[in-house]
Amino acid sequence: MHHQLAGLDLNALIPTNSGWVLYDATAINDAGEIGGAGLFNGRPHAFALIPMALNLTRNGGGLSLSFPTAGGVEYTVESCTNLAAPVWNMLVTNIIGWGGVTNLPAGPSLVPRQFYRLNLGN
């Protein structure tokens, strides 16, 4: 499955204001964790991209989304339709974690055939 991501720019998958520029992915494991090298605020640094457990469930014509949160941390949810040339659209902002699983009910913005990402902050 991972070969389908060959040539994908990992910078397109992280928030543009994160301070990171990823330039060398050197490892990926069966859990989808990716390690490599990049720049963080202009300084060389190792990185690890760890997938977060997002649970998408069909609910009528849309999807429900649930994910674990840390207490007091703000999250946003974005989506795009093409990882080869991603344009991320903000779906939900100001989700404040409470230390458990947060559920977003089905709505017009959560639909099949899209890619979703969860960001810390807005």
Considering the domain architecture, whether residues 38 and 80 belong to the same structural domain is answered as: no
Where residue 6 falls among pLDDT bands split at 50, 70, 90? Answer: low
Considering the domain architecture, whether residues 35 and 91 belong to the same structural domain is answered as: no
55 vs 40: CA distance, rounded Å:
30
81 vs 49: CA distance, rounded Å:
21
Considering the domain architecture, whether residues 44 and 77 belong to the same structural domain is answered as: no
The domain in which residue 44 lies consists of 2-49
Residue by residue, DSSP assigns 15-56 as -TTSSEEEEEEEEE-TT--EEEEEEETTEEEEEEE-----EE
111 vs 6, residue with greater confidence = 111
Task: Identify whether the C-beta of residue 19 lies closer than 8 Å to the C-beta of residue 41.
Answer: yes
Where residue 107 falls among pLDDT bands split at 50, 70, 90? Answer: low
Considering the domain architecture, whether residues 65 and 116 belong to the same structural domain is answered as: yes
Considering the domain architecture, whether residues 112 and 80 belong to the same structural domain is answered as: yes
Where residue 62 falls among pLDDT bands split at 50, 70, 90? Answer: low
pLDDT at 45: 96
Where residue 3 falls among pLDDT bands split at 50, 70, 90? Answer: very low
Considering the domain architecture, whether residues 70 and 105 belong to the same structural domain is answered as: yes
Averaged pLDDT score across all residues of the chain: 80
* Each residue's pLDDT tens digit, 15-34: 778 899 999 999 988 888 89
Domain total in the chain: 2
Considering the domain architecture, whether residues 66 and 34 belong to the same structural domain is answered as: no
Considering the domain architecture, whether residues 38 and 59 belong to the same structural domain is answered as: no
First to last CA, the chain: 31
Considering the domain architecture, whether residues 38 and 77 belong to the same structural domain is answered as: no
50 vs 29: CA distance, rounded Å:
10
